[in-house]
């Protein structure tokens, strides 16, 4: 998945697809730099249901801040492990695992567009898979 012709999500691993309220889920993202970047981009991983309720969210620089995107070299591959905590009061149900990349310019979020191979800009996030939250 190409984010703004800056970084590419080459794949991901999710340690579980059924999770209990209050449990942790580990999402490992496999990135590649499509160019050298001057800015540090924040990665946002969320579990969101069809009614836009969030069960979990973790925003931050790759590797918990240890690998900011401004330090990546062209074509460098970076693994970014994210541990998301499902809210103890999350409603049971099915949630999309949504991924977005952004910068914060003052108080304004600037999301990178997802660019498919044909070049059309589709959205500013991608849905990786779905998870089920149970009691």
pLDDT tens digits, one per residue of 25-66:
999 999 999 999 999 999 999 999 999 999 999 999 999 999
Six-digit token string for 26? 């580990």
**What is the pLDDT, as a whole number, of residue 116?**
82
**Positive or negative CA dihedral for 89, 29, 122, 130?**
negative
CA distances from 117 to 36, 41, 92 (A): 20, 22, 36
For 118-132, what is the mean pLDDT? 86
**What is the pLDDT, as a whole number, of residue 101?**
97
**What is the pLDDT, as a whole number, of residue 25?**
97
**What is the pLDDT, as a whole number, of residue 121?**
64
For 98-103, what is the mean pLDDT? 96
Which is nearest to 41 in space by CA: 109, 119, 116, 114?
109
**Positive or negative CA dihedral for 21, 134, 51, 109?**
positive
Per-residue pLDDT tens over the stretch 104-114? 888 888 999 99
Measured in whole angstroms, the distance separating CA 91 from the mean position of its chain's CA atoms is 21
The model carries a pTM of 0.93
The answer on pLDDT for 94 being more than 70 is yes
Per-residue pLDDT tens over the stretch 7-36? 999 999 999 999 999 999 999 999 999 999
Which is nearest to 74 in space by CA: 1, 5, 124?
5
Question: How far apart (Å, rounded) are the C-alpha atoms in residues 80 and 58?
Answer: 12
Cβ neighbours of residue 117 closer than 8 Å, sequence gap 6 or more: none
CA distances from 111 to 36, 100, 128 (A): 18, 7, 17
Share of the chain above pLDDT 70, in %: 98
**What is the pLDDT, as a whole number, of residue 80?**
98
């Amino acid at each position: 998945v190409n984010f703004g012709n800056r970084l590419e999500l080459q794949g991901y691993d999710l340690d579980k697809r059924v999770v209990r309220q209050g449990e942790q889920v580990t999402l490992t993202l496999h990135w590649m730099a499509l160019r050298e970047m001057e800015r540090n981009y924040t990665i946002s991983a969320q579990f969101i249901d069809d009614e836009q309720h969030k069960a979990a969210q973790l925003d931050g620089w790759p590797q918990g801040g240890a690998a900011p995107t401004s330090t990546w070299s062209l074509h460098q591959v970076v693994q970014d492990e994210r541990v998301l905590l499902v809210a103890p009061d999350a409603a049971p149900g099915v949630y999309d695992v949504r991924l977005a990349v952004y910068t914060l310019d003052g108080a304004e979020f600037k999301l990178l567009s997802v660019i498919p191979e044909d070049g059309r800009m589709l959205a500013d996030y991608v849905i990786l898979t779905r998870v089920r939250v149970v009691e």
